[in-house]
Amino acid sequence: MAVIAGVVKESAPGERRVAMVPGALSVFNKTGAQIVMEAGAGEASGFLDSEYSEKGVKLVKSRGDVFAQADVILQVRSLGANPETGASDLSLMRKGQTVIGFGEPLTAGAAAKSLAERGATFLAMELMPRITRAQSMDALSSMATIAGYKAVLIAADSLPRMFPMLMTAAGTVAPARVLIIGAGVAGLQAIATSRRLGAVVSGYDIRDVVKEQIESLGARFVVLDIEAAGAQDKGGYAKAMGEDFYRKQQEALGKVLADQNVVITTAAVPGRKAPILITRAMVERMMPGSVIVDIAAERGGNCELTKAGEVVEEKGVRIYGPVNLPSTIPYHASQMYAKNIATFLKYLINKEGNLTLNREDEIVRETMVTHGSDVVHPKVRELLGLPELQAV
């Protein structure tokens, strides 16, 4: 029997993305999978119901109808990533149903426990392993690309200067100086976007291995005279460092920040509070009119003064703490996310058209948070204080 995948309208406040777009449906062509969708689910992203129906999607009037008919629910923000309204979906779920989406499992353990109690299998997109065969399913990287791009636009709009150097009849306009802290996907996209706008760009990361990537985009790699051995984990993410390291880093970065017009911070550690890289004292040394855009605001922020969802001004420096940046560019964010989640679901469907969850497979094992009415992910179990599961 063909797998039925359901798509519902995102219920998280301010969320404009949708988990599936018409252009990504071709991924399912050879699987036999059918799609049932809540009417109007794609409108906030710029995708009309008629575009879905033309592709064979079955449109239903209510959210409850989708949950009742679907074997798999595809979402952008599932319960853990939607603390405000996500719990209302629990009563719609049935035992054995699979949910795929973002769910913040490394911080929202209680939400994972609630999903387990409903008997739902939850696969978290943010836990997708960074391995070659999962690259096309890496939704975190897709959304980080959007965030890095939009952060630069926020800075350019707020800065009382233009980014590029201009030769005019009124004289020469000097280019803006931009520093990107953190050279992950978001940081590299921010570097590329800043360069395209004509700024003089520098990039800093505690991982020396990204020096070549920063320089390949035309930016200068900032070297601080501090030891950062073991700064990268096996998945390619930055690791949390000790307090002594961050204190030395702040001292060295303070001198660099004083010469910048724009600073964009992107440093985050999965499942942990973002490290404080910029203190109040460092901000006070910056030139009035400078701008800081803290992409890590949702994780507590890389700047001591950051307030998530707000703009703070300190000594003439504006600090932006934007949240959910991908949702501000919903068309392309949805397009990228839909391709990631569709490729993942296709991977889980076998040749007979059935959903298979082989827990010996690394992709399934690393993303599976709940299964069989239990929390099965080791890190989430540790977060909840649960004992290790015994091997079957």
Determine phi and psi for 90, rounding to 5 degrees: -60, -40
Q: Where are the beta strands (DSSP E) in 85-222?
A: 98-102, 121-124, 166-168, 171-173, 177-181, 200-204, 220-221
pLDDT at residue 241 tops 70:
no
How far, in Å, CA of 109 to CA of 105, rounded?
6
What's the average model confidence in pLDDT over 267-281? 89
Alpha-carbon span 184 to 190, nearest angstrom: 10
Question: Which residue in the block uniquely carries the two structure tokens 């007979």?
Answer: 352
User: What mean pLDDT do residues 191-210 have?
Assistant: 94
Average pLDDT on 195-218 reads 94
Spot the catalytic one: 11, 53, 63, 130.
Answer: 130
Q: Which pLDDT belongs to residue 392? A: 53
262-265 sheet: strands from edge to edge: 220-221, 200-204, 177-181, 262-265, 291-294, 317-320, 311-314
Name the catalytic one among 196, 237, 331, 361: 237
- Give the β-pairing of 200-204 and 177-181: parallel
Q: Say which of 135, 216, 233, 374 is annotated catalytic.
A: 135
Spatial separation of the C-alpha atoms in residues 297 and 53, rounded to whole Å: 38
What tokens does 51 get?
A: 């575009």
CB–CB of 4/67 below 8 Å?
no
- In angstroms, the CA 171 to CA 169 distance is 5
The answer, yes or no, to whether residue 227 has pLDDT greater than 70, is: no
138 is known as an active-site residue: yes
Question: Does the active-site annotation cover 202?
Answer: no
Cα–Cα distance, 191 to 212 (Å, whole number):
13
Phi, psi of 316 (to 5 degrees): 85, 0
Beta bridge partners of 262: 178, 291
Q: Which of 65, 138, 205, 294 is catalytic?
A: 138
Residue 310, both tokens: 């707000």
Q: Among residues 11, 53, 136, 141, which one is catalytic?
A: 141
Widest Cα–Cα separation across the chain: 77
Q: Which of 33, 42, 36 is nearest to 10 (CA)?
A: 42
Give the SS3 label for residue 265.
Answer: strand
Span 146-155, mean pLDDT?
Answer: 98
Supply the pTM of this predicted model: 0.92
Residue matched to tokens 């000594």: 315
Which residues, including other chains, have CB under 8 Å from residue 241's CB and lie 6 or more apart?
A: 206, 228, 231, 275
Please report the pLDDT score of residue 230 as a whole number.
Answer: 47
Q: Is 254's pLDDT higher than 90?
A: no
pLDDT(247) > 90: no
Q: What is the mean pLDDT of residues 338-360?
A: 96
237 carries an active-site annotation: yes
Q: Measured in Å, how far apart are the chain's first and last C-alpha atoms? A: 28
Domains and CATH numbers, the chain: 4-138+331-383 (3.40.50.720), 141-323 (3.40.50.720)
Whether the per-residue pLDDT at 78 is higher than 70: the answer is yes
Task: Specify the range with the lowest mean pLDDT, choosing from 232-241, 335-344, 375-384.
Answer: 232-241
